[in-house]
């Protein structure tokens, strides 16, 4: 079968390798679609190394069809379509026992400790099956939407942390795939107004298609003035920072109303260091929160939204490449002219 083999930083290529031979407690899944994530790019370039193996197959946003069922596996059948929640919490560490399995201290993950989705067939380990990480998909859900349940689950965790609710005004900074998911989730949660800040015209157009109320080009318009005009001078209730640029954070927190929340959703470039005014946070009683990964409950909620058509993920995918053309897909991701880049066998 074909697989993208990562052999070291900036050393990856599509090769022919033997198909996995599954154990009795495993599933063999034929990949239908796998999406490239910004984290994948950091892994490919050697900028993220924690839990990364060489050689290995990465890719953690996955949808496929079961092609073989281990003899000890119950409840699954050949031919069923499934989406995979890649993060497998241990269930017994301090984080897990205190309701934060998304921040599990001993978590394992498909695409890290276990080979991921950038291959024709992947073995789903027994611990993932037993943990409920394999979710069946009905035929009406596209393989693209199925693969994008994983980042949607991450966005749900961020929205829960931020506490976005009915009648809130929300500013989403960045209209890449993640920002566009946050846009839709904010509307679903009952936000009265969602403002998008995005310098890229194509992405602003996509935000308009997906229901943004106010769209700002921060390179040619004054974001501060527009936010204050749209909120009667108060600022927004919630800010979702969906772009990892540390230098924008200080100006961004000034756009939150007193008592508002700023969710630092994106992973930030370099060492992530940023200067922010402690007095702004102090006197305006701002809540600053982070967000990492997702809980299995977030993944199941995301899957249900996709199954019932409550959110449009297909609109966020712009390009599809074959495994053989993975390097072209990587380059397309880097040039920024697309949104979600999908891989198929």
Structural contact between residues 27 and 37, judged by C-beta atoms closer than 8 angstroms: no
At residue 219 the predicted structure's pLDDT band, cuts being 50, 70 and 90, is very high
Q: How do 169-173 and 2-8 pair as beta strands? A: unpaired
Torsions phi, psi of 35, nearest 5? -100, 145
Separation between Cα atoms, residue 150 and residue 344, nearest integer Å: 17
Could you tell me what percent of the chain has a pLDDT over 70?
100
Peptide bond into 287 cis (omega under 30): no
Give the predicted TM-score (pTM) of the model: 0.97
| pLDDT at residue 163, as a whole number | 97
pLDDT of residue 130: 97
State both tokens at 14: 């599509």
Q: Is residue 167's pLDDT more than 90?
A: yes
Which tens digits make up the pLDDT trace of 61-109?
999 999 999 999 999 999 999 999 999 999 999 999 999 999 999 999 9
Does 100 share its domain with 226?
A: no
The mean pLDDT of the chain is 97
> How many whole angstroms separate alpha carbon 270 and alpha carbon 272?
5
> Does 215 map to a domain?
yes
Q: Are residues 9 and 92 in the same domain?
A: yes
Q: pLDDT band at residue 16, thresholds of 50, 70 and 90?
A: very high
Q: Are residues 136 and 172 in the same domain?
A: no
Q: Are residues 104 and 34 part of one domain?
A: yes
Q: What is the pLDDT of residue 188?
A: 97
Q: Which residue has the tokens 């600022």?
A: 235
Domain assignment present for 305: no
Number of domains in the chain: 2
Does 133 lie in the same domain as 213?
no
Q: CATH number for the domain including 165? A: 3.40.50.720
Whether the predicted pLDDT of 270 surpasses 90: no
Domain that holds residue 331: 2-142+313-344
Same domain for 135 and 57? yes
pLDDT at 260: 98
The enclosing domain of 85 has a CATH number of 3.90.180.10
For 196, list phi and psi in degrees, rounded to 5: -110, 130
Q: What are phi and psi of 41, to 5 degrees?
A: -65, -45
């Amino acid at each position: 079968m074909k697989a993208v083999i990562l052999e070291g930083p900036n050393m990856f290529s599509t090769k022919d390798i033997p198909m996995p031979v599954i154990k009795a407690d495993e599933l063999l899944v034929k990949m239908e679609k796998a999406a490239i994530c910004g984290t994948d790019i950091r892994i490919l370039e050697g900028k993220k190394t924690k839990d990364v193996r060489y050689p290995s197959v990465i890719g953690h946003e996955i949808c496929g069809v079961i092609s073989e069922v281990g003899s000890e596996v119950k409840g699954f059948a050949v031919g069923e379509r499934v989406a995979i929640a890649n993060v497998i919490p241990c269930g017994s560490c301090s984080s897990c026992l205190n309701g934060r399995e998304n921040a599990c201290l001993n978590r394992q993950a498909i695409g890290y400790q276990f080979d991921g989705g950038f291959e024709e067939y992947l073995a789903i380990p027994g611990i993932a099956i037993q943990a409920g990480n394999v979710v069946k998909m009905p035929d009406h859900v596209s393989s693209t939407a199925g693969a994008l349940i994983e980042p949607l689950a991450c966005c749900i965790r961020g929205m829960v942390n931020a506490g976005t609710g009915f009648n809130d005004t929300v500013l989403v900074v960045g209209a890449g795939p993640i920002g566009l998911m946050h846009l839709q989730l904010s509307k679903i949660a009952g936000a009265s107004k969602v403002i998008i800040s995005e310098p890229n015209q194509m992405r602003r157009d996509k935000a308009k298609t997906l229901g943004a109320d106010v769209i700002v080009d921060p390179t040619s318009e004054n974001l501060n003035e527009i936010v204050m005009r749209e909120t009667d001078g108060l600022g927004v209730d919630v800010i979702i920072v969906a772009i990892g640029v540390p230098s924008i954070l200080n100006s961004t927190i000034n756009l939150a109303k007193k008592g508002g929340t700023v969710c630092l959703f994106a992973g930030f470039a370099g060492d992530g260091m940023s200067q922010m005014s402690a007095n702004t946070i102090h006197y305006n009683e701002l809540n600053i929160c982070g967000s990492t990964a997702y809980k299995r409950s977030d993944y199941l909620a995301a899957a249900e939204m996709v199954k019932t058509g409550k959110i449009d993920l297909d609109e966020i995918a712009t390009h599809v490449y074959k495994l053989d053309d993975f390097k072209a897909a990587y380059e397309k991701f880097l040039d920024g002219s697309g949104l979600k880049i999908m891989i198929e066998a």
